[in-house]
A and B are shown apart, each in its own frame.
Chain A
Amino acid sequence: DTEVTQTPKHLVMGMTNKKSLKCEQHMGHRAMYWYKQKAKKPPELMFVYSYEKLSINESVPSRFSPECPNSSLLNLHLHALQPEDSALYLCASSQETGNYEQYFGPGTRLTVT
């Protein structure tokens, strides 16, 4: 099973709202990732978690706050977003960081109004 699940599939939020995106994998992977993908562009890395600890933050604004409550779950908390944050947010996991293939979830389509 190489499945990564993400909820919700779609999310519309106002600029004053607080919402969370969720990601789950049961492959025993110890590295998890958040990516942002704008229309007609490739995914851009946001955060990397390794063994439930944040190891990389690619200079992401603080209105995005990741959390890894356990080895299977990864959340992305959203607060005071801007319309330009509207995008497809993809979660991925890999066995570990380093040269292991990453498996992606279906994404959450976020629209900020």
Chain B
Amino acid sequence: GEDVEQSLFLSVREGDSSVINCTYTDSSSTYLYWYKQEPGAGLQLLTYIFSNMDMKQDQRLTVLLNKKDKHLSLRIADTQTGDSAIYFCAESRSGGYNKLIFGAGTRLAVHP
């Protein structure tokens, strides 16, 4: 199928780590992306990973890719209230133009 799947909701305590999971479908996808969307705003590109990598770290963000299981995760260390948002994973389908297939988004709620 075409679906990129994510759990819909995650609640964490401020200061803890958050892990947002995603499964994708196209084994030929070359890039996988994480976007953040705050209420009423556009999408902010957080990070991306190339399919020949299994991990990428960028400050508080760590992306893990298990290509065999088509599983992607985003770990946010020391989660802050400003991290509360919807997080979308997206795969870039191969062939022609860069069609991004988005998951439904995971709403991250950070509480004190």
Residues of A within 8 A of B (CB): 2, 4, 6, 31, 40-43, 45, 48, 50, 55-56, 90, 92, 94, 97-107, 109
29 A–B pairs (Cβ distance < 8 Å), ordered by A: A4-B42, A6-B42, A31-B97, A31-B98, A42-B88, A42-B102, A42-B103, A43-B43, A43-B88, A45-B99, A45-B100, A50-B97, A55-B97, A90-B42, A90-B43, A94-B98, A98-B98, A99-B30, A99-B31, A100-B98, A101-B45, A102-B98, A102-B100, A103-B45, A104-B35, A104-B43, A106-B42, A107-B41, A109-B40
Q: Report the Cα distance A61→B105, complex, angstroms.
A: 26
Residues of chain A with a CB closer than 8 A to B100's CB = 43, 45, 102
Report the minimum CB–CB distance from A91 to chain B (whole Å): 8
From A40, A97, A109, B98 is in contact (CB under 8 Å) with A97
Main secondary structure of the interface of B (DSSP, over half): strand
A56-B97 in contact (CB<8A): yes
Number of interface residues of B (CB under 8 A): 22
List A contacts of B12 (CB < 8 A). none
- Given the known interface contacts A99-B30, A99-B92, the answer about A42 and B98 at a Cβ–Cβ threshold of 8 Å is no
CB atoms of B96 and A97 under 8 A apart: yes
Cβ A41 vs Cβ B43 within 8 A? no
Q: Given known contacts A41-B104, A109-B40, what 11 new A-B pairs fall within 8 Å (CB)?
A: A31-B97, A31-B98, A40-B105, A42-B103, A43-B100, A45-B99, A50-B97, A56-B99, A99-B30, A99-B98, A102-B45
